[in-house]
Chains A and B, each alone.
Chain A
Amino acid sequence: MKRILALIMAVLMMSAIFVGCGSTSATPDQAESDVDYITDKGTLVVGITDYAPMNFKDDKGEWTGFDTEFAQKVGEKLGVKVEFIEINWDNKFLELDSKSIDCIWNGMTITEEAKLNASVTEPYVENAQVVVMTAKNAEKYKDAESMKDLKFAAEAGSAGESTISDNKWADYTPVKAQSDALLEVASGSVDACVIDLTMANAMTGEGTSYEDLTKALELNKEQYGIACRKDSDLTNKINQIMNDLKGDGTLEALAQKYSLTLAE
């Protein structure tokens, strides 16, 4: 009895190691370019998070937003379908490298970190980091120097976090998402948070859930880019298509629709 079980066990363990590894039988071609790989499978898989106004769901539950429409237009030109996959932002480069997605296209700030881990396109939209706090506090604190004793929150690994360390604001709490940072301010557990300008425009002020919060200071102008796998030829392809879309005014129209500023 035991011997049989031991055998079954050994077989199971072996199969656990082998399972799923042969999911594609096609032999990989060393020279295959990323663009060929994508056109062959017929879909461009775009990694996104729910981040208005870049990618968010409309009333019918369909993805929409600046980046959504932009990506769909690029997909048309490439002759492939565009599939949007929600990813965990912390793992974005892992997603890219393991080929579960083909590009990160979700209002990604072009940072040194992004350039180190991926091949990033030309910038397409401009953004800034803004300090958000209650309207009452915003009257007292006007510049970076006066804010140095405040308690800050920002999304872990975000451009807002870098802004905080650049300004040597010491009391800092990393949180999981930009929206969580707003929540921290609203609940009073921190005094201020540093988030994207687009996010702040969409989420604070009159008619939003955070009516009492306001932008106190704009810092670190930054630009959004699209991240492709390192050494991928997709980057140049997207750059080309992006130039065409800029040339014929498509991007400008999109930017106006979602009140964004295109990068020069």
Chain B
Amino acid sequence: MFGEVTLSLLKGFGITCEIFALTLLFALPLGLIISFGSMSKFKPLKWLCKVFVWCIRGTPLMLQMIVVYYGPGLVGQWAQGIEDPGVFITWFASWTVFDRFVAVLIAFVINYSCYFSEIYRGGIESIPVGQREAGQVLGMKKSQLFFKVTLLQVIKRILPPMSNEIITLVKDTSLARIIAVYEIIYAGERFIKAEGLIWPLFYTGAFYLIFCGILTLLFGYFEKKLDYFRG
């Protein structure tokens, strides 16, 4: 029984890890881009980014997932009921739901890139202006300044808040079951329903603990590696 449960939970945990890894892969760069947008001198872009970040951080991830998954299908259904459709309505009418996993990914990437963008912004703005001015005096280009002077220090500074957010992400993946994506909690709950077994649900906690433990060690290691900036 234990082996069977473990196998089933591992299968669910595979999906959990997939959501986790793919979200990081897309959200880390997207977050950086959004942070540039919200620091932009071009006012409309700056405000667009600020409002976007406000909307995403200001609403629950669970709701965002429901909107991303059911939204397009509902719009399609609504548009199909409209008589005498224009170009846009016809296009709306062709909307259908995403694949469940894709919908989860879209919601997670957007949500986390907004949180990441604020962490990046904090990191970038914490680098003293003097350093940039010194670089300019030395004749460095803007891109050189960013990658050679700012970015490496930023990475070191944002590592602790980033690791916080990333560990939260591990556990947030459990929200995916709202739109019936088979992740580990879902796998655990299934045993209650199908076989009346309660312990598999609690057993899922072990998987999260081990995974977060590994991440914590990994971040500790990175922080040590980046220590050379000190002094």
Q: Please give the residue numbers on chain A whose beta carbons come within 8 Å of chain B beta carbons, in ascending order.
A: 1-3, 5-6, 8-10, 12-13, 16, 19-28, 30, 49-52, 56-57, 85-88, 91, 94-95, 97-100, 177, 179-180, 182-183, 186, 203, 208-210
Determine whether the beta carbon of B48 is less than 8 Å from that of A91.
Answer: no
| Complex Cα gap A121–B41 (Å) | 60
Q: Knowing A25-B94, A28-B93 touch, does A9 contact B34 (C-beta < 8 A)?
A: yes
> A56's closest neighbor in chain B, by CB?
B194
Q: Mark B90-117, 1 if CB is under 8 A from A, else 0.
A: 1101111110001000100010000000
Could you say which residues of chain B place their CB within 8 Å of the CB of A86?
180, 182
Determine whether the beta carbon of A21 is less than 8 Å from that of B91.
Answer: yes
Of the candidates B33, B98, B179, B197, the one whose C-beta lies within 8 Å of that of A20 is B98
> A230's closest neighbor in chain B, by CB?
B77
Further pairs besides A3-B42, A85-B180: 5, Cβ < 8 Å: A1-B142, A5-B33, A13-B48, A30-B81, A177-B193
> Does B15 reach chain A (CB closer than 8 Å)?
no
Q: Please give the residue numbers on chain B whose beta carbons come within 8 Å of chain A beta carbons, in ascending order.
A: 30, 33-34, 36-37, 40-42, 45, 48-49, 52, 66, 69-74, 76-77, 79-81, 83, 90-91, 93-98, 102, 106, 110, 142-143, 146, 177-180, 182, 189-190, 192-198
Could you say which residues of chain B place their CB within 8 Å of the CB of A9?
33-34, 36-37, 45, 49
Main secondary structure of the interface of B (DSSP, over half): helix
| Complex Cα gap A160–B192 (Å) | 19
Of the candidates A24, A28, A210, the one whose C-beta lies within 8 Å of that of B196 is A210
Determine whether the beta carbon of A95 is less than 8 Å from that of B193.
Answer: no
Instruction: Give the shortest distance, in Å, between A208 (CB) and chain B (any CB).
Output: 6
Determine whether the beta carbon of A97 is less than 8 Å from that of B37.
Answer: no
| Complex Cα gap A137–B104 (Å) | 45
**For A8, A9, A13, A180, which residue has the most chain B Cβ atoms within 10 angstroms?**
A9
